[in-house]
Amino acid sequence: AVEQTLSIIKPNAVAKNAIGAILSRFEAAGLRIIAARMLHLSKEQASAFYAIHQGKPFFDELVDFMTSGPVMVQVLEGQDAIAKNRDIMGATNPAQAAPGTIRADFADSFTENAAHGSDSPETAATEIAFFFPEGVCVRTR
């Protein structure tokens, strides 16, 4: 099915000047960027976005990292966009990410793993609404 998914280019990848390289991978795979914004998350925003991970051992480190610099947030649309994005990113733990994936090429650690992507249609809807409460562009093609 044609899906939408939320993608975040994390602060370490932004710091490496890799926004364009990463967005190019999405486009080359046939995903369309239908909304985008750049912002520096507050602790409150990062904690709310990752609320499902509250209480886990890596939570504080994750929030500290995600608020350490600007992030680029985008909505990707396309056939099987959720799975396709996750394939392009590679495994969450970069030590297990396949060669040629975003995390293999741009991650620095499990926390600083360069990109985030929604993991299901339900989380995609919640995460898209979190960053784009006003909605996203309609398809024009």
Catalytic residue ranges: 116
Q: Which parts of 24-53 interact with ligand CMP (CB under 6 A)?
A: 53
Question: Strand, helix or coil at 44?
Answer: helix
Among 45, 68, 111, 123, binds ligand CMP (CB under 6 A): 111
Is residue 62 a contact point for ligand CMP (CB under 6 A)? yes
For residue 55, what is the DSSP state? T
Within 8 A by CB and 6+ apart from 13, the residues are: 19, 22, 102, 106, 114, 115
113 is in an annotated binding site: yes
Is residue 113 a contact point for ligand CMP (CB under 6 A)? yes
Is residue 13 a contact point for ligand CMP (CB under 6 A)? no
For residue 51, what is the DSSP state? G
Q: Based on CB atoms, which residue is closest to ligand CMP, 27 or 58?
A: 58
Q: Based on CB atoms, which residue is closest to ligand CMP, 51 or 137?
A: 51
Distance CA(114)–CA(86), nearest Å, equals: 12
Is residue 110 a contact point for ligand CMP (CB under 6 A)? yes
93 is in an annotated binding site: no
139 is in an annotated binding site: no
Please report, as ranges, the residues that interact with ligand CMP according to CB under 6 A: 53, 58, 62, 92, 110-111, 113, 116
